Structures are given as C-alpha cells and as structure tokens.
Amino acid sequence: MAYFEGAKMTAGYGDGPDIISSCSITANRGEIVAILGPNGAGKSTAMKAMLGLLKLKSGTVTLNGEDISKINPQDRVKKGISFVPQTRNVFAELTVRENLEIGGFLTEGSLENKIESIYSLFPILSEKKSQVVGQLSGGQRQQVALGRALMSDPSVLMLDEPTAGVSPIVMDELFEHIIKVKKTNVAVIMVEQNAKQALSISDRGYVLVTGQNKFEGSGNDLLEDPEVRRSFLGA
Amino acid sequence: MDFLNAIILLFNFTVIPALAYGSQLALGAIFVTLIYAVLRFANFATGDMMSFGTMFAVILTYYFQSLGIGLGVLPTALLTIPFAILMMILYMLIIDKFVFSYYRVKKSPPVQFAMVSVGVMFVTQAIIRIIIGPSDRRFLDGEKFIIKATEFKEMTGLAEGITLKSTQAITITVTLIVVSIMFWFLNRTKTGTSMRAYSDNEDLALLSGIDPKRVVLITWVIAGILATIGGVLYGLDKSYRPFVYFNNMLPIFAAAIVGGIGNPYGAFFGGYVIAFAEILLTYSYKKFVAYLLPSSLEPNSLMQLLSTDYKFVVSFSILVIVLLIRPSGIFKGKTI
Amino acid sequence: MRNYENVIYAYIIMLLLIICVGLFQSWSIALTILNYCLISAVMTIGANIQWGYAGLINFGIMGYTALGGLAVVLVSVDPVKKAWQVGGLNILGSIWIIVAIVFITRFILKRFEKSLIRNYSIAFLIIAGVILIRVTATPGIEAIESVDPAVSGFLGGMGLPVLMSWIIGALLAGALAFIVGKIALGLRADYLAIATLLIAEIIVSIIKHEEWLARGVKNVIGLKRPAPYEVELQKTQWFRDFIEKIYSNKLELINTIAQKKIVLNQLIIDASSIFVKLCFTSLFLSVVIILLIVTQKALYSPWGRKMRAIRDNEEAASAMGKNIVKEHLFIFILGSAIVGLAGAMMVTNDGLFTPGSYRPMRYTFVIWVMVIVGGTGNNFGAILGGFVVWFLWVEAAPISLFLIDLFTAHLPETNMIRSHLVESAPYFRFLLIGIGLLLIMRYRPQGIIPEKIIKQ
C-alpha cells in the first residue's frame, strides 16, 4: 500500500466524457513520481482528481491508508496535500513573504521557523522577501510557488508542469530544488512536458495515453524502454 | 501681507473644503474598491448603502437628543455611529445572504452582479424612503466652529480669515484614523493578508486553506464601517438627503476608478484628486488674483474656469480622461 | 406556433390590465399609461439592441433620452430672433472654437509621438480653450438670457414640424453615442456601465445649466404637437357632430335642451382629450411596429447571427476575423439613436421639456429593469418588459395604498404607523420594482419571454 494512492480513477468535467478512465497513480514519501503523456492524455486531470478539484465517477483516493475520495480539496490540503497549479500559482500582488505566510495560513502559531527553512531551501527568496511577486522573474516566481506550497508542511506535493515556459537553465535549477524537496521526506508528483529531463530526476514515472495507464516503471526503465522512447521521448 | 492674505483665502475656500469633501469621497471609494476587489463587482447600491447607514445615525441622533444624551461640544451623531454600523452590517449581510451569495456560488459574470446590485439599489432606496422619507435633514449639534473667521482676523490682523467648521475637522480626523486602522489591518494582520490574497487569486487562496465565507464576511464588515462613517461624516458636513446620497455614488465611482479600482490606496488618493479638482476648477479666483496683482490690473470677471453648476461634470471628465490615458488608474488597479 | 402562444397570452394579459385601468380609474389615465408604455417600449428596444444583441451595458440611457428631448426644442420651437441678434455670434464663435480645439487635439495626437510633453500641451490647449470659450461666450450668454427671461431667454429652435425632431433626436443621440463609443467601448463591461452613467450625467448637467440653449431648469413649455389641440378640437364641427352621434342614445334621455347642451359639452371635452391621446397612441404604435419589424428582420439576418455570435463568445468571433470593435460601435450608435427617438417622442407627448426631471433612476435604471424583466435578446420580450414595468411603476402607488389599507384596516385612521405608511405609498414602487428585478434575475434570468422561445 503506497502512501498516496489514486486507484482506478474515472472522471471528467461536468457531464462531459470521461477524461481519465481507470487510471491509477501512487506515490510514496521521499520519491518523485512523474506523470507523462501526449497532449490531452489526462495528466493534469488525473492530478486534479487526486486533489479533489473534480469528482470521481469511480475509483478511490487514499492518503496513508485513509480514503479521502469524498472530501473537498480544502480539507485534503489540511490533511497535508499541497498543489502548485500550472498558471497563476502565486499571489502576484503580494510580497514574497506574504505569499509564504498565506501558504502557512492553516498553521497555528508562529511561522518564523517555517519561513526560515523555506528561505534556506530557496535562498533567493530571502533576498527578495519584501518584493512584490509580480515583479520577479519566471524562475523566481516558480520558487515562490514551491515555497508557498511547502509552507503547509505537506506530505504530498503535486506540481502541474512546474517548468512550463522557463528557460532550460532555470529548469535545471528548479529540478534541483524539487530534488531537495523530495529529500525532506515529501512525496512529489509532477506532470511534465519535458519528459526526458523529468524522468532523469524521477524515481518512477507513469505514461498516460487517452486517460489510461500505458506504461509505468522507474525513471531509468522508462527512459530506456524503446517503445516509450519512440513514442514520447522523440528519439 | 497681500500675499499672505491670498494664501489664507485660497486655503480657506479651497483646501479645507476639499480636504473634508475628499475624505468623505475617499471612504466611499475605498468601500467601492473593496467590494470590487474581493467580491468582484461594481456595486451600484453604493450611495444608497451609505445612505442606509446614515439613516440610522440620524434617527438615533434624534432619539438620543430626546433623551438628553449628547457629547457636549461634539455632535451626538458620533455616539450613534457604532449602532448605525451594526445595523448597516446586518443589512449588508442579509442582502449578501439572500441576493449576492447565490451569484457568487454560481460564479456569475460581473455584469450580472452589477445588475443585481441595481435591484438592491431600488430596494434599499425604497426602504430608506419608507422609513425616513425623502426630505432634507440636519442632525448636527454641538459646537459648529473650531475657528471662526472673525476670531482669526482679530488674532492675526489679516484681512482674510480662516473658518474651520468642527464637521470639517472631525471628518478629516476620523477619516485618517479609520483609514490608517484599515490599512494596518489589510497589510499587517493575517486576516487582512488573507483578504488581499483572496482578492488577488481566488483559486490559490482556496488551495491555501483560506475560508472564502470568512473573507466575504469580513469584507462586508469593513464595508459597513466605511459606508456608515463616510455617510455620517458627509451628512454632518452638509445634510442628509437620500437623493443626494444616491447621486454621490457617481463621484465616488470616479474616485475609485481614477485611483485604480481594486486598489484601496488608489481609492483613498482618488477621493482627494476628485475633491480638489472639483473645487479648484470651479473656484472663482477673482479675489485671490486681486490680492496678488496691483490694483490697476484687478480683473473684472469672476476668474472662474467653470461655473459651480459643473462640479460633478469636473469629476466625471477627469474619469473619462483617466480612462482614456491610463485605464488602470493612477495607482495600478485591477486590469480593465 | 405553440411557441408564440406564451407571447400572445402575455400581451393579452397586459392589454387587459390596461383596460382594467380604463374601467376602474378612467380611460384618459389608461391611455396615458398606454402611451408611456409605448414610449418605454421604444427605449427598451434601443437598450435591448445594445444589451441583448451585443452584451453592451449602457447605463447612459438618461443622456440619450434627454438629448432626444432637447432635439424637440431645437427643432420645433420658433427661433427667438432677438436672442440671435444679441448673442448669436458669440455662441457660433464658441462652437467654432470647440471644433477647432477638437481638430487641433486630433492633429497633435496623430502627428506626435506619445510623450509627456504631448499630454501637457493637450491639457494646456484644453484649458486655454475653455478660458477662451468663456470669454467669448459669456457676454453672449448673458445677453441671450436677458431677452424676455420669463418666457424665452434662449436661442429657440428652427421652427420646423415637430415630427422632424424625432429624426433629429435620433441623429443627435447617435452622434453622441459615436463619441462615447469611441471613448468607452474598449472598457470591460462594468467599467462601461460606470463610464456611460457618468457621461449621461455630464450631458444632462449641460442641458440643465446652459439656459441659452433650452432654458435649462426653467423648462420649455407649450411645444408643438403632431396632434390637434383639445381646445381647437372642441370647436371643430365634425368632431362635435361625431360625439353627438356616438352618444345620441344617452343624450335622448335628457329632456331639456339646456341640460342636453351642458352634458354634450362635458362629453366633448372628455372625448377631445381621449381623441388627442389616441392620436399619439397611433403615432407611437406605428413607431413601435416599424421598429419591431425592422429589428426582428435584423435579428434573423446574417448580421443578427453574427452579433449574437460575438455576444456569446467574443474570443471565438474575433478569432474568426469579425471586427468586434466596429460592430460594437455600430450597435451602440444604433441603440442610442433609438433611445434618442424615444426621448423625442416623450417630450412631444408631454408638450414640455423639463431638464430637471432627468434622473438616472427613472431614465436609466427603470429602463434597464424593463429590458431584464422582459427578456434580453428578444424584442417581443423587451417591449413587454416596457409595458409591464411601466404599468407597475405607475400603478404601484395605488396598489400599495390599497394593500396598506387592507392590512392596517384594524388600526384607527390616526395610528402613527398607518399614516406613516400611507404617506410613504409612493415609494413602494421602488420596492416593487427592485424586488421584481431581483426575483426575475434569480428565478427567470432569461426574462418573462426568453430568447429561446422566439428563436425557433
């Protein structure tokens, strides 16, 4: 039994067709899991279903053995699941520090220690702490987004295309940060377009096609699998 | 000496009234902007909501006066403000529960909200007129002046005097206190920060565990405080008449947009921009110029840029110009 | 045809209500209400074109209505020669200055790059222009306003037939809409609402305070009519004969000739007022029918489909290469022109122009309630909305008085609450309209007659 598990999930938007059907994804603390696949394969949908942003028609989501399929996203957040959306993932009108404070909104008591630990994880944020996030560069914003998500002391961190639209150098830097996060005993699930790079830092990966699990395995296995390479890695 | 007289003259007839009027507009504009930022709609019931709160202050003032309760030199109305605020907040929350919340849950477009607020405007106006009637009411008591022109002239020996009405002093002081507390609340407290976060990015705020119901509640509470205080101060300074309050919505909107709608600092500043523009552009500078120029050059026209009939036109024109040149307002508000 | 049944029923009920007023109150009141309903219907058609076809919120209806009303004065009133002699040149001069300022500003905007200096020079130009206008115009205005201030004191109009003013009113309103549209149409919906509301306020404020133009708040009374005057009608032989014939049965019952004459005279006076109102009714009805036919045709033309496509999905429509800005401007002008026409019709009906009476509540928001209540995007609905809401607006006070009496019947006449409520009866119309709007928006957001029913 994995720590965080979405089993045989089927879901779609509203009354529309199912985007994912019988799709299963698991993650354990201290590992990075990548969800890959072509456009429209239901990668983000699978993640949103695990967060509770859309209703499951069938299947379950469990956290540490507890069935959380029925509770709403806010309560899942309280249980330790954190999510970084692909777009609009920071409070652009607030300062860096305020973003972190909001991230720890549900935490009782002082946030100082927590904020300090985020600063040590992302030193640049400490420098820019009084700046309004809207003025930061793309890479720095993503760090704010990660920092905000980590403020709630999550055991699961879900990232929707964290490297979309950033330069390759920034991408490498972000991946390094994600590895650091993983080392704090967090289960990291990320949807990624940059499949090769994502797999290279992932412990495991899932390849979804038309909403179903097509391949799964360790990062290296998938990278070496000729079929996966041919269809999704472009080599 | 003439130079000093000219300055005093200008100060007395433009700066003091503009500061007082600007404060009243600023409170209303922050109210508009707050509703816009958090609840995301242009509230066309603004003027009437301010009127609603003021109505209670007026009624309670009369009641307190009949009981002989007062504040001595200060107007009795100040004593009634807390009660009026409570009634105002209660009314706003009832309206929100039965009217606005439905559209919020449905995530209706802002246009629909605006139309709904027009309905609220009608209802509020009806309630006010049914309770207190449409007539003009004065409810100022206590000391009327802090400085009288004649006293000032005697004291300084100048030809021009400064009149400081107590309502003007109270307006400016109360506004500064209320606005400072509000900015402190928005910027320095956890709840205030969460409100700004909700206004900035609702989805992410929800994901961070911010309770939207609480944010909405607190927004209405602050709105109720601002609306009532702004309305009472205006009523003390001029008088209370429901129709005038409805019309005041227009310069208040202008102030909020000029400052950058959704931005409380902008709204605060915008209130004074509108007030100063209205008063400076419709003031007759004849006497002022006469002091500065030799008597042979004394102007015989009023030296007035626009007649006072066009007070409102000034603020609306400023709004149109701002919309043309810098649609997001002087301080950058939400993108238009 | 089943789809049209609802529409027909709705209109029949409305008509019955008006007939009820005729039976219980008086036929003259019923016709007055009907005429105003028709005028309101024209306004709602205008507003509905903007809102229902294109999703544009125009809270400036009051401004266009007032401009249409102004047109009646400017077109139909005879020119005041003396006023033109004493101040005409100054006014014309000022108008030329305004034109010059506009063109110079446009020139500067076109010719020079965006810069701070450019902004300042335009600001300077406008301030200098305002001062220049005041210097030029003030002596003229004073002279004009002192010509017979009790009855005239303004430049008067062109002395043309009053029906001309309906067209001119529409044109004036359209021209204003062009300017406003150029300024404000790029804004987001709720900003557009606020901007148009404020611009309308500017228009009314100018009409109110520029007394040389149309006497401002001193009002212009005794405007020309496209229908006969009651007093003259009463003297006309054929009308007298006609009335005598209609009531011949009733008159035969009266014995003395003198008595007969008195009764007949009273009947003729009553009938003349109704006859005049009927003349107006037929005029207004023809306008409504013509507009209805034209707008219905337009709605189902390729152009109408395009407009609805733009309304329902702006992005997709613009991606398909539709020029949204241009279409919006066109529709904004068209709708405003129709509102201007309605404004002219209203002043013609009243026979007087009272700038002080233009208030946003009555001339903007109530019209909007009509559009929303009736059914957005379809003309039958909008017209019905005009009828229903106007009817409520007028009849709310009597109805609420009746209800107050009913509910407080157990209280003595002198009871404080009762007398207070009776005094407040006129304000229940706001309550009724407001609650009506809120209920419709909540439970029938498509209006009484939704767009869909008509669509098929």
Structure tokens at B11: 């100060």
Q: What is the pLDDT of residues C282-333, one digit of tens each?
A: 999 999 999 999 988 888 888 888 887 888 777 777 777 667 888 889 999 9
Q: Which element (helix H / strand E) includes C196?
A: helix C189-209
Cβ pair C205:B133 closer than 8 A: no
Instruction: Please check the confidence at residue C451 and state whether its pLDDT lies above 90.
Output: no
CB contact under 8 A, C424 and B125: no
**A154 at the B interface (CB within 8 A)?**
no
Torsion angles phi and psi, residue A85, rounded to 5: -65, 165
Q: Would you give the end-to-end CA distance of chain C in angstroms? A: 10
Residue B331 lies in a domain: no
**DSSP 3-state of C356:** helix
Residues of B in contact with C188 (CB under 8 A): 110, 336
* Residues whose CB is less than 8 angstroms from the CB of residue C169 and which lie 6 or more positions away in sequence, other chains included: C67, C68, C69, C70, C71, C72, C75, C340, C341, C343, C344
3-state SS string for chain A: CCCEEEEEEEEECCCCCEEEEEEEEEECCCCEEEEECCCCCCHHHHHHHHHCCCCEEEEEEEECCEECCCCCHHHHHHCCEEEECCCCCCCCCCEHHHHHHHHCCCCCCCCHHHHHHHHHHCHHHHHCCCCEHHHCCHHHHHHHHHHHHHCCCCCEEEEECCCCCCCHHHHHHHHHHHHHHHHCCCEEEEECCCHHHHHHHCCEEEEEECCEEEEEEEHHHHHHCHHHHHHHHCC
pLDDT digits (tens, 9 = 90+) for C255-289: 788 888 888 888 888 888 889 999 999 999 999 99
Q: C125 and C184 in contact (C-beta within 8 Å)?
A: no
CB atoms near residue C297 (< 10 Å): 11
- The pLDDT score that the predictor gives to residue C296 is 86
Task: Say which residue, C236 or B59, is predicted with more confidence.
Answer: B59
Question: Would you say residue C453 has pLDDT above 70?
Answer: no
pLDDT tens for each residue of A137-182:
888 999 999 999 999 889 999 999 988 878 888 888 889 989 998 9
**Chain B residue with Cα closest to A85:** B204
Is residue B332 in a domain? Answer: no
B194: chain A residues, CB-CB within 8 Å: 102, 105
d(CA B13, CA B285): 10
Angle value at C-alpha C273, between C268 and C278, nearest 5 degrees: 115
Q: What is the dihedral of CA B288, B291, B295, B298, to 10 degrees?
A: -10
**Does B109 sit within 8 Å of C189, measured CB to CB?**
yes
- Measured between beta carbons, the chain B residues lying within 8 angstroms of A152 are 208-209
Q: Which two tokens stand for residue C235?
A: 């003297």
Q: Residue range C115-138: average pLDDT? A: 85
The reply to whether C361 touches chain B by the CB within 8 Å rule is: yes
**Chain A 62-101, residues with CB within 8 Å of chain B CB atoms:** 73-74, 77-78, 83, 85, 88-94, 98, 101
Residue bearing tokens 């899991």:
A33
Domain range for B19: 2-325
Question: Is the CB of A148 inside 8 Å of chain B's CB atoms?
Answer: yes
Per-residue pLDDT of chain B (336 residues; tens, 9 = 90+): 788 888 889 899 999 999 999 999 999 999 999 999 999 899 999 999 999 999 999 999 999 999 988 888 889 999 999 999 999 999 999 999 999 999 999 988 888 898 999 999 999 999 999 999 899 999 998 888 888 888 888 888 888 888 899 999 999 999 999 999 999 999 999 999 999 999 999 999 998 889 999 999 999 999 999 999 999 999 999 999 999 999 999 999 999 988 888 889 999 999 999 999 999 988 888 888 888 888 777 777 777 777 788 888 888 888 888 877 777 777 765 543
Secondary structure (3-state) at B143: coil
Answer whether B328's CB lies under 8 Å from B336's CB.
yes
C182-219: per-residue pLDDT in tens?
Answer: 888 877 777 888 889 999 999 999 999 888 888 888 88
**Distance separating alpha carbons of residues A187 and C315, to the nearest angstrom:** 40
Which subunits have 3 or more CB–CB pairs within 8 Å of chain A?
A: B
Angle at which helices C324-350 and C162-184 cross, to 10°: 150
**What integer pLDDT is reported at residue B33 of this predicted model?**
94
CA–CA distance, A165 with A158 (Å, rounded to integer): 18
Q: Cα–Cα distance between B102 and B210 in angstroms, integer?
A: 20
Residue C454 pLDDT: 46
Total-model pTM: 0.90
**Over pLDDT 70: what percentage of chain C?**
98
Q: Is the CB of A102 less than 8 angstroms away from the CB of B210?
A: yes
Selected residue with higher pLDDT from B66 and C236? B66
pLDDT computed for residue B334 by the predictor: 53
Q: Which of B119, B129, B312 lies at the smallest CB-CB distance from C441?
A: B119
C455 pLDDT band, cuts 50/70/90, is very low
Partner residue facing B327 (CB), from C187, C208, C437: C187
Contact A102 B206 (CB under 8 A): no
Task: Kindly state whether residue B219 falls inside one of the protein's structural domains.
Answer: yes
**Stronger pLDDT, C24 or C70, i.e. the higher one:** C70
Is residue C143 within 8 A of residue C88, CB to CB? The reply is no
| B 266-325: CB under 8 A from C | 301, 305-307, 309-310, 312-313, 316-317, 319-320, 323-325
Give me the residues of C, 368-397, that contact B with CB < 8 A. 368-369, 372
Cα separation values, B109 from B177, C189, C225, Å: 35, 10, 45
- For the ranges B133-147, C147-161, C442-456, the maximum mean pLDDT occurs at B133-147
DSSP state string for B78-140 = HHHHHHHHHHHHHHHHHHIIIIIHHHHHTT--HHHHHHHHHHHHHHHHHHHHHHH-SS-B---
CATH of the domain at B184: 1.10.3470
Please check the confidence at residue A17 and state whether its pLDDT lies above 70.
yes
Cβ atoms of A89 and B204 closer than 8 Å: yes
Amino acid identity for residue B165 in this structure: K
**C373 pLDDT higher than 80:** yes
| B334 inside domain | no
Interchain contact, A77 vs B190, CB within 8 Å: no
C418 vs C416: CA distance, rounded Å: 5
CA of B218 vs chain A CAs: smallest distance (Å): 16
Measured between CA atoms, how close is B258 to chain A, in angstroms?
19
Instruction: Tell me, yes or no, whether B335 lies in a domain.
Output: no
Whole-number pLDDT of residue A233: 66
Q: For residue A83, what are the β-bridge partners?
A: A158
What residues of chain B lie within 8 A of the CB of A154, using their CB? none
Sign for the pseudo-dihedral over CA of C418, C424, C426, C432: negative
**CA separation for the pair B259, B269 (Å, rounded):** 6
The answer to whether A118 and A125 have CB atoms below 8 angstroms apart is yes
Question: Within a 13 Å sphere around the CA of C38, how many CA atoms are in the beta-carbon half?
Answer: 26
User: Considering only alpha carbons, which residue of chain B is nearest residue A153?
Assistant: B208
Q: Kindly state whether C131 is in contact with chain B, defined as any CB-CB distance less than 8 angstroms.
A: yes
Tokens linked to A107: 């935490």
| Mean pLDDT within A196-217 | 88
Q: Do C209 and B123 touch (CB under 8 A)?
A: no
d(CA B13, CA B276): 11
pLDDT exceeds 80 at position C24? yes
Q: What is the pLDDT of residues A40-85, one digit of tens each?
A: 888 888 998 999 888 888 999 999 989 998 888 888 888 899 999 9
Please state the domain count of chain B: 1
Q: What angle do CA B170, B172, B175 make, to 5 degrees?
A: 100
